[in-house]
Structure 1
């Protein structure tokens, strides 16, 4: 479906993507997994530029989970090197498209070069006012929730927060995604139908869209189709249709 079918007035403010299928894409071509990761950069660029052009406020990409550290060392090292190279390579494009870069996850766990390149890019794009591109790096939903609980517990212990004042709204301020809206649309590529420890708190009422397309083959047309599918759904948030429609 073409972009013209998208209703700009009901765009999701925040789209999250689980970029899955790089390894299978490479295997189908008889190549090493890192070949798939390298060829996924075009999909990242297309999704980012597509969201920026449409007027989406936030795009969060699940780039590297805490569980991914358990992959073969050669693949992890290749991914880290690719991260550094891609951020350098795409910085001009981010600036051209007025994209602000942000990151969530255990950033301190990243190699020194990765942290340096990431922080420099975040600093250089901090005044951009268009799409905010959020990279989830060394991230998992359970890790984020546990870290939030730890910080909250410290504040209770130090009498900065009273137990009776804890609410969903207060708890959200301790999450990595504080000050971001929850995703309204989450896309997962490659045909897998699970959320893989991604944004567990934030996805409570998110519309989920699964596609068989492997991530390196994902393009703007696929993004548009996901958004149109989202716009054709009725979002009830626990209510019934009659309540939503009135």
Structure 2
């Protein structure tokens, strides 16, 4: 019933109990999920996990925080891995102005290279954005990213930005912050985003939804995200689950 579009089951936090975490997700009604790889360590493991479970898929890309580490060989490697039958998107990619490991100009160039690769492969992209919304939108427009579209992952900004991204053929994915008592923007976005552009996620092990905030997040908790959105949109959990699942399957090309 529920499609978690962004998980990091390849993170160190899940090394000891990954199988149990996956079983809890299934018990909570999670029918599909995408494991996102974003560097040399996490990309191979994302694919390995996807190969082990028929209902799990992978995305491969390079995180903006580590943009300074990406080489042309890495980009070629991502292109080769994208041909794998379980890889459904390129990403996560984007811009992150919170951390300062990679200079902004390097982040932007790596972002542009990955968009161009995704266009070459005709695959959707998954966008990471932290404190860089306007620059991300400018680059998406400049690179004609609407040709492939994709996901604004864990969207946490103003509704007008969400609508601008939708106009660029992107889906808005909401996670744990939509359940936080002090979160305003994600709740407004949840109310305003059209159903055909709405997705849900956990971004686990990060950003656990209320009442688990501050704890390790896991895919089973996407149920809490779906319940909150259903409440705000005055819909049933089953309706939100069906709509967001269908949106994800269509975007990722999953039969």
TM-score, normalising length from structure 2?
A: 0.40
| Higher Cα radius of gyration | 1
Larger RCO: 1 or 2 (CA < 8 Å, sep 6+): 1
TM-score by length of 1: 0.41
